[in-house]
Structure 1
Amino acid sequence: MSLSVSVQHGFPDFSLDVAFKAPPGVTAIFGQSGSGKTTLVNAFSGLLRPNSGRISVDGRELFDSTAGRWIPTHRRKIGYVFQEGRLFPHLSVRQNLLYGHWFAKRHGTADFDHVVEMLGIGPLLARRPAKLSGGEKQRVAFGRALLSAPRLLLMDEPLAALDESRKLEILPYLERLRDETEIPIVYVSHSVAEIARLATTIVVLKDGRVVRCGPAAEVLGDPAIAPTLGVRGAGAVLSARVVAHHADGLTELAIGTGQLFLPRIPSPVGARIRVRIAAQDVMLATSRPRDISALNLLEGTVREVRMGVGPGAIVTIGIGTQTVLSRVTRRSCEALELAPGKPCFAIMKSVAVAPDDIGT
């Protein structure tokens, strides 16, 4: 199910003017505070009626100012997951889920057992929300939203209130939700790691405008948006295949004609995964280095050198059909004579890639 959005709305001190189209999957809305993420989500949900524009989900118009069409919130069939689960405290997990299932029976269909299995919440059904961890509450909130048989699922920073260990617990379930349902998902976040792992399409907002929109790997691999992502957010997403699990605890991945060694990944041999490599963790060399501890050397060619406003620069390295970004200094660029077309090696430590930067 695809999304088509063109929305214009003005406030006294802010204006939103956004237009984009997205294919099926997870559409991540990324931006810093004040970029317009919440305003856009409120337009999707019907909590805000824009001054003008059009919003369509799989051809069904939720809003069209030209035609005078406006579907109120309660008729949009949208599931909404907030930063906190907002479960009914006096009901058990089963009863919270059945609340959504009851709604679905009136307005559509939903498979209770499949949703429970997909989110791994079977052992929680008899508990009350007070007896759940933060991650468990969010999984139940996802289930309740799904069981309402929505045509669109909105997630407004659903992991923002969780610590890192709970986020790592939740992310695999979100990947299953993305891969096993046909419901379009609009996922709002300011976490680059989350959107790199989950997004099919990324829409980058700044000051109420779209500065970049496209497939996740293309957007995150674009050095032009590095300032928007932040110094530590800049990086690229690589598509890889698990080749082997070695006895020393490393997993070998195939990256086109190259290979990566990372700490053990819980995916079977042959599985396709995506890996986010932060630009600040990539060193460059113009000749093959010897006698170094880093295990990962990807041979490629410089595609672009983009100078920053300070002493830094972002270098784009082509690795076959994929790209890697490296954040280096201007002085290093000059010393290595880096320029488009120059062969080089991208060097990465195996332990530099965090577990939440690896997804299916």
Structure 2
Amino acid sequence: MSGRGDLQVRVAQMQGIPLQAQFQCRAGELLAVVGPSGGGKTTLLRMIAGLNQPQSGEIRCGGQLWFGPGVNLSPQQRHLGYVPQHYGLFPNLSAQANVMAGLDHLPKSQRQPRARQWLERVNLQGLPERLPHQLSGGQKQRVALARALAREPSVLLLDEPFSALDRETRERLYIELARLKSQLQIPVIMVTHDINEALLLADKLVLVSGGQILQQGEPRQVLLKPRNEAVARQMGLRNIFDATVLHYDPEQKLQWLQFGEQQIACDAPPGEAPGSRVRWVIPNQGIRFNAISSGRLSRSYNKLSVTIDSLLVMGESVRLVASIAGVAYQLQAELPLHLVQKLALTAGQQTDVALKSELIHLLEAE
């Protein structure tokens, strides 16, 4: 099929919603565009779909130019699959007829078999004659997905595809999408405001805010090495603190920091002068509440004395908040309930935590 291959996007506009973005999504990859409401996510998706026209830039898929100087292909010419936020189903058409409505490029004799095949592939066999109002939210989402995929599109675009669904249905569809993604071998672009959804499904992450890309890359890389505080907060990281640079130890390749009344080490390269103030962040997996041998400190662990302020049980996990001597902001951690019970952690208790030096990350000044 012409146009099948990697998707390359470079767009800019100053009018309306200002937006500047450049990224690539390879065939077989799922790229998640994540950001707050009004940040430009849906506008970007509509530009790729050919529903909005950027002021400048280029959009290419495979060897085909979709948008550029003197070129602006229609959505039909781009031959893509698009699943809008609220499914976009025709209320008076059955599930099967809704899928067939996206197949007007095929001969009539091929439309019904193709529609049934895709309803089966998204596990909706037995429901082809049901109208949208007779389907659950998850089933409607599957019909919308089947309609988009039955076109055998060059690119699949998903706009907040799971936002209207309950948690259990969302998780079933996550598994479904992950399975389909490995079979499709086309670029998949998903817009979402849910960072956990993006971390679970995406091969690549693009963080957007105020019409600008804050950072892009593999989800785990962005999570562990956010460029600045804005990125860290958008990634849901809560433990962001100030410290003062003490010195760099070239032998151990450790940067030493004064943090409240204690000293901590991190794996940051030399850069900041002694006495400089820095902002740093640590993800939840960098905070350990395991028993620590007395006085032990290595490249992996910094021992930190804390006082537990509160414990909030949330099903099988516990949200813990603790104070650190000489530090204005509290430490927040999420722990498995069984570990909290095993360590007998209680509010008001003083205990030690370990901070993994390799997961302490210094942030760029904004």
Pairing 1:283-302 to 2, within 5 Å after superposition: 283-284=287-288, 288=292, 301=300
Give distance in 2, aligned partners of 1:103 and 1:289. Answer: 69
Give distance in 2, aligned partners of 1:342 and 1:94. Answer: 50
The equivalent position to 1:101 in structure 2, one of 103, 110, 122, is: 103
Pairing 1:126-275 to 2, within 5 Å after superposition: 126-224=129-227, 227-228=230-231, 230=233, 233-234=236-237
Give distance in 2, aligned partners of 1:45 and 1:27. Answer: 15
Instruction: Return the TM-score normalized by structure 1.
Output: 0.64
1:342–1:201 distance in 2 versus 1, CA, 3 Å: closer
Give distance in 1, aligned partners of 2:299 and 2:206. Answer: 28
Tell me the CA shift for residue 185 of structure 1: 1.0
Q: Which amino acid aligns with 1:125?
A: P
**Which residue in 2 is equivalent to 1:72?**
74
1:207–1:124 distance in 2 versus 1, CA, 3 Å: same
8 Å CA contact 1:104–1:147 kept in 2: the answer is no
**Which residue in 2 is equivalent to 1:294?**
none
Tell me the CA shift for residue 160 of structure 1: 1.2
SS of residue paired to 2:217: strand
SS of residue paired to 1:101: coil
Name the stretch that deviates more: 281-290 or 125-134: 281-290
Q: Which amino acid aligns with 1:126?
A: E
Which runs of 5 or more residues in structure 2 are unaligned?
239-281, 303-326, 334-351, 361-366
SS of residue paired to 1:204: strand
After superposition, the CA RMSD in angstroms is 3.6
Q: Max radius of gyration: which structure?
A: 2
Give distance in 1, aligned partners of 2:23 and 2:191. Answer: 15
Note the alpha carbon deviations across 1:133-161, whole angstroms, 9 max, x for none: 00100001000111122211111101111
Pairing 1:296-315 to 2, within 5 Å after superposition: 301=300, 311=329
Q: Which amino acid aligns with 2:193?
A: H
Tell me the CA shift for residue 52 of structure 1: 0.7
Note the alpha carbon deviations across 1:69-107, whole angstroms, 9 max, x for none: 21122321121101212212222112212222343458x
**Which residue in 2 is equivalent to 1:39?**
43
**Which residue in 2 is equivalent to 1:118?**
121
1:219–1:90 distance in 2 versus 1, CA, 3 Å: same
Give distance in 1, aligned partners of 2:202 and 2:31. Answer: 6
**Which residue in 1 is equivalent to 2:349?**
none
SS of residue paired to 2:37: coil
1:141–1:205 distance in 2 versus 1, CA, 3 Å: same
Asked if residue 29 in structure 1 is aligned to residue 33 in structure 2, the reply is yes
Q: Which amino acid aligns with 1:137?
A: K
Tell me the CA shift for residue 302 of structure 1: 6.3
Give distance in 1, aligned partners of 2:41 and 2:176. Answer: 24
1:289–1:99 distance in 2 versus 1, CA, 3 Å: farther
Tell me the CA shift for residue 31 of structure 1: 0.9
Which runs of 5 or more residues in structure 1 are unaligned?
236-277, 291-298, 304-308, 316-334, 344-360
Give distance in 2, aligned partners of 1:161 and 1:210. Answer: 26
Structure 1 runs, 4 residues or longer, greater than 3 Å off: 101-106, 108-114, 223-232, 278-283, 285-290, 312-315, 335-343
The percentage of aligned residue pairs carrying the same residue is 30
Give distance in 1, aligned partners of 2:358 and 2:286. Answer: 19
SS of residue paired to 2:14: strand
8 Å CA contact 1:63–1:71 kept in 2: the answer is yes
**What is the total number of aligned residue pairs between the two structures?**
265
Q: Which amino acid aligns with 2:189?
A: V
Tell me the CA shift for residue 177 of structure 1: 1.9
Give distance in 2, aligned partners of 1:98 and 1:289. Answer: 66
Tell me the CA shift for residue 232 of structure 1: 7.7
1:124–1:94 distance in 2 versus 1, CA, 3 Å: same
**Which residue in 2 is equivalent to 1:88?**
90
Give distance in 2, aligned partners of 1:289 and 1:337. Answer: 11
- Richer in strand (by share): 1
Tell me the CA shift for residue 188 of structure 1: 0.2
Pairing 1:273-352 to 2, within 5 Å after superposition: 279-280=283-284, 283-284=287-288, 288=292, 301=300, 311=329, 340=357
Q: Which amino acid aligns with 1:23?
A: R
Instruction: Return the TM-score normalized by structure 2.
Output: 0.63
SS of residue paired to 2:58: strand
Name the stretch that deviates more: 147-156 or 111-120: 111-120
SS of residue paired to 1:124: coil
